[in-house]
Structure 1
Amino acid sequence: MPARFLIVLDADSTLIRNEVIELIADEAGRGAEVAAATEAAMRGEVDFATSLRSRVSALTGVSLDAFARVRARIEPTPGVHELAAAVHARDGVFGVVSGGFHEVLDHIAPQLGVDVWRANRLAHDGSALTGVVDGDVVDAQAKADTLLEWAAERGIPSHRSLAVGDGANDLTMMATAGLGVAFNAKPAVRARANLVAARVDLAQLIPLLP
């Protein structure tokens, strides 16, 4: 049976409770510095791609072995398993598009019932991070383009898509979707969303599914 609808979530502070780049930065002893820069980017005060490249530079030298520790600290957002089950019971597709990193998302997305996902990749020399993003940055426009691409591949009209996010880099995707939901969101995102989730519990999105 073809998919009936598509729901696409942001990852950090939406699919999961954490900001992964801050967890990686902790491994470099620069967690507080990177957390402040992440907060400014999520509020929309700085260009996301520029900010991400700057924050990734702070990760230079972090051992690839650190990712096991980072993944162990990931906290799924309450209700994520219930939401995934409801999406699949209704013949929907559960996607995640993130300004975070495949190095973590590739491990946690399948465990959380995610069908398709996209994120940034971190360059490394075989043993440690080199402080740059490998390839194009997944920014606000890339998130919106990915939602449309996934919908088109499955023959899903854009009006039967939902986008859920918390930061300024989610706004373009939320405006592109049939319904944009602010979740655990910054004030600027709450002001521009179609709906605002009242609690940090993804199960509350189930009644919104087509």
Structure 2
Amino acid sequence: MQNMIDVDQLDVRPVEDQLTLSKWYEFENAQAEKGEVLTEKTAQYIVLFGARLAGTTLKAFLDALTLMHIVPHTVCAYQAHPDLPIGVAIKAGLPAGELPKSDIRHAAKKLGCQGAILPNLPQLDIPGLLVMDMDSTAIEIECIDEIARLADVYDEVASVTAEAMAGKLAFSESLHKRVAKLQGIELSLISPLKDDLPLMMGIKQLCEVLKTKNWRLAIASGGFTWFAEALQERLSLDHVYANTLEIDAQRLTGRVIGDIVDAEKKAEVLNALRERYTVDTGQVIAIGDGANDLVMMAAADLGVAIHGKPKVVEQADAAICEGSLLQLLHFMTVPLPREY
């Protein structure tokens, strides 16, 4: 690798004015320890994204990594998508022990950015699989809470929802308790909600990009088929899996029929789709926001918390804590160094 950079020379100009995009640079100064050789197994990739990056911001982030005893070896600026600010990837050696995921996030946040360590580098140009939670992930709302609001039982349902999403109540138990409170609600009352579900910012554009790259897209949701199926056409989804509300005489009965899509079922869906489409290793991503998404996210090659609860952000491989879901592309477009 012939490209070299002196971190001390980075200035206030945008990073793309100081680093050629998609080129990896070695460090000329003490940021990297020359004696250590990274291999595919020992290397870790750290990404910094979410705001327009100045060279001084990159330098401050590299300094923060050094304080964590992380040894940056090479750095690369890249454009994940024309509508996103330039991101930066850093190939580094990490100290033994637990990955400092939260430290990376906090260091990036202090600089007005977001940061993550990527255990795998899924590649956008290779077909893959994205499995998404629906409520508060693909869409901005929790559908059951909104139904309850329309039926004037919101406070009762929301308190149970909060317990479930925080992992304090088994999902299947909470689902039955919440749905029971919806007994007697007329479908005509909730039809406008189904017809105008508020998409999470960037999700439609993300799905459009992935479909052009031959990715398979699926929703695995603890929500309801009534809403998931409404999203299927809007987002060009290949599959949707969700819970089925029982309906009688155009009213909700307060019961769920069929198998419950809980945390374990979501992971089963992901693994079944991985096998069905013979997805390459490293090319399966799962995204979600709640505790019932953690098993699915752990089963994926990359599990990403989306505006997630603290427990989920802490346990996920990576997180997008603010802004557009299109930023998921920062995790899928890191240029591969030649020696990788």
Structures share fold, TM-score greater than 0.5: yes
- For residues 81 and 209 of structure 1, what CA distance do their matches in structure 2 show? 17
In structure 2, the residue corresponding to 1:159 is in which secondary structure? coil
1:142-181 CA distance string (max 9 Å, x none): 0000011111111114532000000000000000000000
Partner of 1:124: 247
The counterpart of 1:8, out of the listed 99, 121, 131, is 131
Larger CA Rg, structure 1 vs 2: 2
The counterpart of 1:59, out of the listed 151, 171, 182, is 182
1:108 partner amino acid? L
- For residues 169 and 200 of structure 1, what CA distance do their matches in structure 2 show? 22
- For residues 323 and 154 of structure 2, what CA distance do their matches in structure 1 show? 24
Moved more, 118-127 or 108-117: 108-117
1:24 partner amino acid? I
The answer on whether the counterparts of 2:219 and 2:240 sit within 8 Å (CA) in structure 1 is yes
2:200 partner amino acid? T
1:7-66 CA distance string (max 9 Å, x none): 111000000000000111123210122112111111101101000000000010011222
Moved more, 30-39 or 107-116: 107-116
The answer on whether the counterparts of 1:184 and 1:197 sit within 8 Å (CA) in structure 2 is yes
**Unmatched tracts of structure 2, length 5 or more:** 1-125, 334-340
1:61-89 CA distance string (max 9 Å, x none): 01122231222452100101210111112
The answer on whether the counterparts of 1:158 and 1:177 sit within 8 Å (CA) in structure 2 is no
Partner of 1:208: 331
After superposition, the CA RMSD in angstroms is 1.5
Higher relative contact order (CA 8 A, sep 6+): 1
In structure 1, the residue corresponding to 2:255 is in which secondary structure? strand
1:122 partner amino acid? L
How high is the TM-score relative to the length of structure 2? 0.59
**Unmatched tracts of structure 1, length 5 or more:** none
Tell me the number of residue pairs that the alignment of Structure 1 and Structure 2 aligns.
208
Partner of 1:80: 203
- For residues 150 and 141 of structure 1, what CA distance do their matches in structure 2 show? 14
Partner of 1:90: 213
How high is the TM-score relative to the length of structure 1? 0.94
The answer on whether the counterparts of 1:8 and 1:97 sit within 8 Å (CA) in structure 2 is yes
In structure 1, the residue corresponding to 2:330 is in which secondary structure? helix
Partner of 1:155: 278
The counterpart of 1:193, out of the listed 294, 308, 316, is 316
- For residues 323 and 192 of structure 2, what CA distance do their matches in structure 1 show? 25
For the structure 1 residues 200 and 53, does the alpha-carbon distance in structure 2 shift closer, same or farther, using more than 3 Å as the test? farther
For the structure 1 residues 138 and 148, does the alpha-carbon distance in structure 2 shift closer, same or farther, using more than 3 Å as the test? same
Percent of paired sites with the same residue: 36
The counterpart of 1:113, out of the listed 222, 236, 240, is 236
The answer on whether the counterparts of 1:140 and 1:173 sit within 8 Å (CA) in structure 2 is yes
Higher helix share: 1
The counterpart of 2:171, out of the listed 38, 45, 48, is 48
